[in-house]
Chains A and B, each alone.
Chain A
């Protein structure tokens, strides 16, 4: 990300992007592509079976599925942390965002230095990474907490810092591994708003893992349902609601109806 581009981003923040679910983005090459990916761990656990799907730029895809169905494995394969047993994954890993279940902040670094970390490992010069970190901190609403250490932060603030840390690389693909599972309901809803906000500003390709159907529907342009182990994609729902999505959307009949259908599929996936 260059200096000029990022100022552009800041300037256009208030005008909502058109719904990213449009033909233009669909026709281009996918930002992340899984093709017949299977995963068998050395201990014989069959985690994924013949999984195929694409995520395009401007798409936010959420995967829901029963516990232990290999959802997290999906992200570990996408990021290259684990190699797949067979099949292929196409993704540009040079600026991959990855938010883990835990905030995984380094306890000895304050918020600012934590947010800088990914840029630092990437070898970005100090002034540039500090500027990006400041910007990311502001984006996730942590301004004023730069010099706090992780032990002084609440769970929600830690997740914000974790989000900001991935943002400094201005990722074109953003992976979220059940990031808000451990925070309370209200904080989770706030953080959901934050993610949507970031998605609209940055237009990355998002792949989000969660247990929560309502979180999945609220955030995504598409929801994929995975079966129990070995994980397979068993259903693919388009989410038609326009962004930005107000909190009240969660109580709309259409929202409930879609959630119900996904829930039904999920129950089928369990058996």
Chain B
């Protein structure tokens, strides 16, 4: 507040008047914060209540199936996280899954951004690569399990491969979209001063791309967790059992509460990634980027 006051004091009157606008808007937004804090827990309570209902009578009433297929949330939490044995296995599992998804996401980001920058250089390059990117999305992992297995063997590597495959697309498309988002007038400025392709890339296209890049990160962060878990279910070998492997073990023994416990942990990991990248995004571009919001 003191900063703003100082700025106003230093500027000519019309400028000072102009400064009032954005600040006033910020104050308006604060009104909605109570609903922002209360929203998620309320939905959580509704969700858990629905879950409990489905366990007790919903499955029977709607689908004529026994309730034990969907253990009560109380049983799930109790069996997975309160009783000692499962908790250790699950937490250890989610740790390995986190490692695979983080490393996988890192590889995805580097490869994806490099490919997007290459594709942004010319329309024909973009058109040449795009169909195969879409095809990559459509490949069923099951079909390529044998080749992945024979190339990468067991352990982390095949899981990383699957993770990158699944998380790749959004990073490339969002980065590409971002690189092309600088407007024609801004490009004209660089053309006027005869800027090189590199200057244009680093001083115009890459910074302009950042908001979209972070959107890509956020989507791919969630997908990298899915990718890691899927990878684990296909490639169970090795001494680092991730959450997908632990869950699969319980499922084969028909011990359902722990399977759902694993699901909760995997979901938690995804949410944590999402929040971390959301924060990182606000840190890096929040001070200049104005997301177009619907009037609330």
Contact B11 A118 (CB under 8 A): no
Contact A143 B11 (CB under 8 A): yes
CB-CB contacts below 8 Å: A141-163 with B? 141-145, 148-154, 156-157
- Count of A interface residues, CB-CB < 8 Å: 34
Whether a CB of chain A sits under 8 angstroms from the CB of B7 is yes
B183 contacts across to A, CB distance below 8 A: 102, 104
CB distance from B20 to the nearest CB of A (A): 9
A35 to B7 Cα, complex, angstroms: 48
What is the minimal beta-carbon distance from B58 to any residue of chain A, in angstroms?
48
Interface centre among B10, B15, B194, B208 (most CB of A within 10 A): B15
Q: Which of B91-99, B135-143, B284-292 contacts A (4 or more CB under 8 A)?
A: B284-292
| Contact of B22 with A144 in the complex, beta carbons under 8 Å | no
Does A79 have its Cβ within 8 Å of any Cβ on chain B? yes
Question: A100-B185, A141-B12, A190-B14 in contact; A154/B21 too (CB < 8 A)?
Answer: yes
Contact with A along B184-206 (1 / 0, CB 8 A): 01101111111100010001100
Which secondary structure dominates chain A's binding surface? loop
Interface check A24, CB cutoff 8 A: no
Q: How far is the CA of A109 from the CA of B204 in the complex (A)?
A: 11
B18 within 8 A of A: yes
Question: Of A100, A102, A144, which one neighbours B7 at CB under 8 angstroms?
Answer: A144
In the bound complex, how far is the Cα of B190 from the Cα of A81, in angstroms? Answer: 10
The smallest C-beta distance from B28 to any residue of chain A, in angstroms, reads 15
> In whole angstroms, how far apart are the Cα atoms of A80 and B210 in the complex?
30
Number of interface residues of B (CB under 8 A): 35
Whether A108 and B285, one on each chain, are in contact in the complex, defined by CB atoms closer than 8 angstroms, is yes
Write out, one digit per residue, whether chain A residues 56-91 have a CB within 8 A of any chain B CB (1) or not (0): 000000000000000000000001110000000000
Q: Are A106 and B207 in contact (CB under 8 A)?
A: yes
Task: Report B-chain residues with C-beta under 8 Å of the C-beta of A144.
Answer: 6-11, 15
On whether the beta carbons of A143 and B10 are closer than 8 Å, the reply is yes
- For residue A121, CB closer than 8 A to chain B, the reply is yes
Q: List 14 A-B contacts (CB under 8 A).
A: A81-B192, A107-B208, A107-B290, A108-B210, A108-B289, A117-B189, A121-B193, A121-B199, A142-B11, A143-B11, A144-B7, A145-B15, A152-B22, A156-B14
Interface residues of chain B, those whose CB is within 8 Å of chain A, are 6-12, 14-15, 18-19, 21-22, 183, 185-186, 188-195, 199, 203-204, 207-208, 210, 285, 287-290
